[in-house]
Amino acid sequence: MAPYLFLCLFLFFSHLYASFSSSGSHSCSSLIQFKNSFSITEQASLFCGFKSYPKTNSWKEGTDCCSWDGVTCDHLNAHVIALDLSCSWLSGNFPSNTTLFLLPHLQKLNLAYNDFNHSKIPSEFGRFTSLFYLNLSDARFAEEVPSQVSHLSNWFHLISPLGFMTMRN
Ligand SMILES: *[C@@H]1O[C@H](CO)[C@@H](O)[C@H](O)[C@H]1NC(C)=O
Ligand SMILES: *[C@@H]1O[C@H](CO)[C@@H](O)[C@H](O)[C@H]1NC(C)=O
Ligand SMILES: *[C@@H]1O[C@H](CO)[C@@H](O)[C@H](O)[C@H]1NC(C)=O
């Protein structure tokens, strides 16, 4: 009997641990808040040559954001490391204090083919020290790229609203 009890306890606690460590509900709620700052309109991604659909529609509070469309986590720590929201019908001003900045492990961010209404590119993008790929192509951002962003890291691809691609090393 005892070995089964231990097995049950083990399974119970490892499950408990997994649910606490899964990406942190904290990151998931940052993503939900980010999603909620936009409206979803098909017109925002009209010129997307690829499959265009509202990826954030699959984002549901109370579920693990590592399984959401467009979200990639690392397997070890369940940190959100990549976000591909290109062609996702996001429409509206891009908040300079967006909760996206609460995801410090982000390495790749694709916001291409949305309509951010000519918002300024927030200089806070420069806070992502791990970011090496940022795609703002056809996202209707203002054209000026803050220097904090263009000097982001040692190895950096920036696809700015003007289509430039920057690589540094
Ligand atoms: C777009 O920005 C203008 C000001 O530049 C504002 O008046 C308008 O409400 C914004 N539209 C949306 C959909 O946020
Ligand atoms: C961002 O700023 C706006 C206006 O300054 C405020 O209403 C909003 O609550 C802020 N959002 C966050 C996530 O801090
Ligand atoms: C930017 O993202 C768009 C949409 O995903 C993609 O088609 C394009 O190839 C990307 N650009 C680069 C240079 O990676």
Q: How many helices (H) and strands (E) does the chain have?
A: 3, 8
Query: Which atom of ligand 2 is nearest to 96's Cα?
Result: 1
> How many Cα atoms within 13 Å fall on the side-chain side of residue 90?
28
Shortest-distance Cα residue to atom 13 of ligand 3 = 159
Query: What is residue 24's predicted lDDT score, i.e. its pLDDT?
Result: 63
Query: What is residue 40's predicted lDDT score, i.e. its pLDDT?
Result: 97
Average confidence (pLDDT) over 58-82: 94
Q: What is the 3-state secondary structure (H, E, C) of 81-97?
A: EEEECCCCCEECCCCCC
Structural domain count of the chain: 1
3-state secondary structure of 44: helix
The two three-digit tokens of residue 91, written as one number: 């429409």
What's phi and psi for 56, nearest 5 deg? -70, -10
Q: Does 37 sit in the ligand 2 pocket, CB within 6 Å?
A: no
Q: Which of 9-23, 87-101, 124-138 has the lowest mean pLDDT?
A: 9-23
pLDDT tens string 131-140: 999 999 999 9
Q: Does 92 sit in the ligand 1 pocket, CB within 6 Å?
A: yes
Average confidence (pLDDT) over 122-149: 91
Mean pLDDT of the chain: 84
Residue percentage of the chain with pLDDT more than 90: 60
Average confidence (pLDDT) over 63-86: 95
Expressed as residue numbers, the domain containing 118 is 2-167
Query: Which atom of ligand 3 is nearest to 133's Cα?
Result: 14
Question: Residue 108: nearest ligand to its CA?
Answer: 3
Q: Which of 53-67, 73-87, 140-154 has the lowest mean pLDDT?
A: 140-154
Query: Which atom of ligand 1 is nearest to 91's Cα?
Result: 13
Is residue 147 scored above 50 in pLDDT?
A: yes
Query: What is residue 4's predicted lDDT score, i.e. its pLDDT?
Result: 52
Instruction: Give the DSSP per-residue string, 45-111.
Output: GTT-SS----GGGG--TTS-GGGSTTEEE-TTT--EEEEE-TTS-EES---TT-GGGG-TT--EEE-
Q: Which CATH number do you get for residue 11?
A: 3.80.10.10
Q: Closest Cα to residue 161, out of 109, 127, 129, 121?
A: 121
Ligand 2 center–CA 96 separation, angstroms? 9
Q: Which string of b and e fits 80-112 if b means at least 16 CB within 10 Å?
A: bbbbbbbbbbbbbebbeebbbbbbebbbbbbbb
- For the purposes of burial, counting CB atoms within 10 Å of the CB of 7, is it exposed (0-12), middle (13-18) or buried (19 or more)? exposed
